[in-house]
Amino acid sequence: MRRDVAHVFFRTRLVMAMLLCGLPAFLWAQETVIKGKVTDANSGDPIPFANLIFPGTSTGATTDFDGNYEIRTTHPGDTLVVSYIGYLSRRKAVVKGKTQTIHFQIREDAQNLQEVVVLSGENPAFAIMRNVVKNKSRNDKRRLVAYEYDTYTKVEIDVDNLTDKFRKRKVVQKITQVLDSIERIAGEDGKPILPILITESVSKVYYRDKPTLRYEHILNSKVNGLGVEDGSTITQLVGSSFQEYNFYQNWVNIVTKDFVSPLADGWRLYYDFDLVDSLYVDGQFCYRLDFTPRSPQDLAFTGSIWITKEGYALKQIDAAVGKQANLNFVEKIKIQQELEPAEDGAWLPVKNRVLIDVGEMTSNSAGMLAKFYTSNKNFVINKPHDVSFYQLPITMAEDVRMHEAEVFWDSIRHEPLSATEKNVYKMIDTLQAIPVVRTYTDLIKIFINGYYKVGKVDIGPYISIFSYNNIEGVRLQPGFRTNIAFSDKWVFGAQLGYGFGDQRVKYTVSAQNIMSRRRWTTLTLSARSDLGRVGIDAEAAADNYLLLASQRFGYFRRGYYTNEVRADFKRELFKGFTQRMAFRYFTFEPTYDFAYYDQPDDIATSTVSQDFQSAEVTVETRYARDEMFLQSDNDRISLGTTRWPIITLRYTRGFKGLANSDFDYDKLRLSLFKRIRFGPLGEAFVDVMGEYIFTPLPYPLLGLHLGNQTPLYSAITYNLMNYGEFISDRYVTLRYRHYFEGFLLNRVPLLRKLKWRLLGTANVIYGGLSEANRALLAPNTPTGEPTLPVGYFGNEPYVELGYGVENIFRFLRIDFVHRVTYLDRPDVHNFGVLFSFQFQL
C-alpha cells in the first residue's frame, strides 16, 4: 500500500515538474510580436513620436524618430490603434500569438482645432516653460567653444497632388509607366507622388565661437534629378548648413521667413501651452507639452515638445506651420528634431527631418514636396581650430561626385535607404530617358538661368536678345559664354548687337581668369561698344540682366554711345574681406542736347563741347563678415549676410592725358547695407551711401539721381522725382524698406484671410552741387540748341515717404508715396499711387 502511494506521489511530482518546465515555452508560444512603421499618407515620410495602443489596455508603444515601432506582449487585444496630434486615428486587426508586420499610413485631420480648456490656478505648463527659458543658456549648443561632427544629409523633391485633371495633360500622359509605378509604391492608403530629385551627401561640419564661424566640408555627394548635370550647386544647397534649425533661438529662419520659436524668451506672447503627458524617452524622464499659436496667421508653429525633467532641456520637437499662416504657396512646413546631451551638458541635434509642402499655383498644375533629412554623429566638443581653418563656409572634396556606386553608399550612409527610396532612384532614371521630359527640363533651365547649354558653351542671355527703343529701333543681340565643361579657370563671353534704327553695331567681349577658388580671386578683361543711359550704373547692374534688358526699351532720355575697356582684379584676402582694383577707359557721345564749357573760368573765350573721354582707376574695399556664398560652376553667388552689415569703401582717380583722357578727378564713396530683424514687427533693409567728388566735372560724371515718371514702383529709383531733376557732386542717401509681414492685418478679422501685408518706405537725399560744377553747364550746344535742364538741391533734403500693401492676390503690390520737400517746382507731384508685381513666399 505504501508502495502504491509512493508511486502515485512520484508520478504526480513528475507531471507537475514537466508542466512547470513546459510553461515558459507555452507562454513564449503565445507571445504576440508586432513590428511596423507609421508614415504620413500624403508625403510618405515617417511619423516619429506617434502612439500605438491596444484599446482598453495599457499595452502599447511609441514610434522612434524614423517612425518604427515594436510591441511584444502576452496580453494583446485584437485591434491596434495609432494616434498622433493633427492626424486621424487608424485601427488595424491583430492576430494573437503571432509575429507580424503592420504598417500604418495616417492622414492629417483637416479639422485640427485644438480645444482650449481654462482651469483655475496657473497652467502647469507655464512653470515648465519658465524653467526652459531659464536654462536655455546652459542647454543651447551655442554655449560651446567649438564642436564638430559627421553628418549625412538626404533630400528628396517630389511632385504631389496628381489630380485627374493633371494626369490628362498630354505631357503627363507620356509618363504613364512611371505613374503606374508610383501608384504601387504609394501603398494602399498612401497618396501618389512623382519624384524629380533625390540627393545624398556625407560631410564634416565644424563650428567655433568667438568669432562665430562655421565650416562644412562635403566629402561625398550623390545627385540624381531631372535636368541635373554637374550638380555642384545642388550639392552645396543640400548640405547640412542649410538644414540646421536651432529652436533655442528666438527666431527660426525657414524659406527666407522668420518664425517665432516655441522656446523664445517671449513665448507667452505668441503661444498657448498644454501639459499632456510625462514619459521616458531614451532613458530621460520628459514632459510632453503641446503648443498652438495665439494667432493662427502669425509665422508660428503648432506641435509638441518633449522637455527633460532634469535640466529642462529640449529632447524632441515636432513643429508644423499650416496653411493658415501668412505664407504664399506653402501649404505646410514640418520640422522634427531629436537631440542628445554633449559631454558638458549642452544638447546637440542628432536627427532632423524637414518637410515643405508647396501648393498648386493653378488648378491645372500639381504641387511640390521638398523633404530633408539629416543625421549627425561622432561629435567632438570644445576643440576649436584656427580661425583660418574656417575661411570658406562650404567646400567640396575634389572627388565629391566620383563614388556613386550603391555598394559604396551602403557603407557610408548612417541609415540604409528604404525600399521606396531605392525605387525613387529607378523612377528618376526612367523619367530622364523620356524625350518630352528632357525637352521640358531644358526649357525650365533656360527660364531660370537665362542661357541654353550647348556642350561647352551657353547661348544667351535670352532676355537681351530683342529690344526696341526710339534711338535704335528694333535691336537684336545674340550672345554666348563658356561654361565649366570648357574650363574651370577661364570664362569667355561675347554679345553682338545691331540696331536697325541707328544702323550701328554694338558688341561686348570679355575674358575672366579664376585664379583661386579658395580665396576667390578673379581677373576680368572686357571691351564693349554700346548705347547707354545717363544715371544707369552698368557696372552695378552687370549681373542684373533683367534691369539691363528693361532699360533698352521705350523712350531713351539722356542716351549716349560709348566705347569702353575695363580691367578688374578682385581677391578675398580673408573671410568677408574683399579687395578690388579696376581700370576703366570710356568715351561719351551723347544722343541728346548736352554741352559743357571747356574753360568755365573764362566763358567768353571757352569752347563748348559735347563729347569727352575718361580714364580712371578704382580701389575698393568690401567687408561682409558673415556673408554666405555658393560656388556654381564658374560663378560665385552671394546669399547675403545674417547679422552683420555689408560695408564698401571706394576711391576713384581720373587721370587727364592717359589714353587722351580729358579730366583729372577724385571720387570717394562709402556705403552700408544692413538687414534688421524686428521680431513681431517684421524686418527692414537699410541702405546708406555717401559720395564726395572733389573736382569739377561735366554732370554725366557726377551723381545723377534716378527719377521715375512711370506708374510702376521701383526700389532703385526715387519714385516721385522727375528724370534729371537732381544732380550732385556731394550727397548722402538713405533708403529704408520695412516689411511688417502680417503685423496688424493678421488681427483684423475681415482682412486676415486675405493675407495682405503692410510695408513702409523712405527715400532721403541730402546733397549739393558746387558753383564750379554749375559753371560747367553750357546753356547751348554747338548747334545752338538748348540743353536739357539740370536741377540741384537747395538747403533741405529731398524726402519721399511711402506706405503700402503687398501680397494682394499673392502677386500685386500697391505703394502710396508722398513727396515731402521741393513741392514748389513745376510739373512735380506730391502724391502718387504706384504698382508693382513680385513673387515671394
Give the closest residue to 790 by CA, choosing from 614, 595, 589, 611: 595
Long-range contacts of 403-412 (CB under 8 A, 24+ apart): 403/220, 404/222, 409/200, 409/220, 409/222, 412/152, 412/202, 412/220
CA atoms of 766 and 728, how far apart (whole Å): 9
Beta bridge partners of 376: 151
pLDDT for 76 equals 84
pLDDT for 605 equals 80
pLDDT for 361 equals 66
The H-assigned helical ranges of 135-226 are: 136-139, 164-167, 170-173, 176-186
pLDDT for 827 equals 82
Distance linking the first and last C-alpha atoms of the chain: 98
CA atoms of 446 and 443, how far apart (whole Å): 5
- Pair 177, 387: CB distance under 8 Å: no
| Kind and range of the H or E run holding 350 | strand 347-358
CA atoms of 477 and 497, how far apart (whole Å): 4
DSSP 555: -
Give the closest residue to 322 by CA, choosing from 259, 378, 379, 390: 259
Beta bridge partners of 585: 565, 615
Per run of 10 residues, the mean pLDDT along the chain (length 841 residues) is 43 45 48 90 85 88 89 88 89 90 86 51 89 94 92 86 70 65 60 80 90 87 74 58 83 84 92 90 91 87 93 94 80 91 90 86 72 92 90 81 81 85 79 71 68 88 87 93 92 95 95 92 96 73 58 80 96 91 96 84 81 96 86 80 91 93 95 88 92 93 85 86 86 95 79 86 94 83 63 88 90 93 88 86 71
- Pair 588, 616: CB distance under 8 Å: no
Helix (H, G, I), strand (E, B) or coil at 11: helix
Q: Is the dihedral of CA 651, 655, 658, 660 positive or negative?
A: positive
Amino acid at 800: E
> Half-sphere exposure of residue 729, counting CA atoms within 13 Å on the CB side?
18
Q: Where along the chain do its domains lie?
A: 125-440, 451-471+484-642, 664-841
Please state the φ and ψ torsions of residue 46, each to the nearest 5 degrees: -65, 155
Q: What is the DSSP string of 650-672?
A: EEEEE-TTGGG----EEEEEEEE
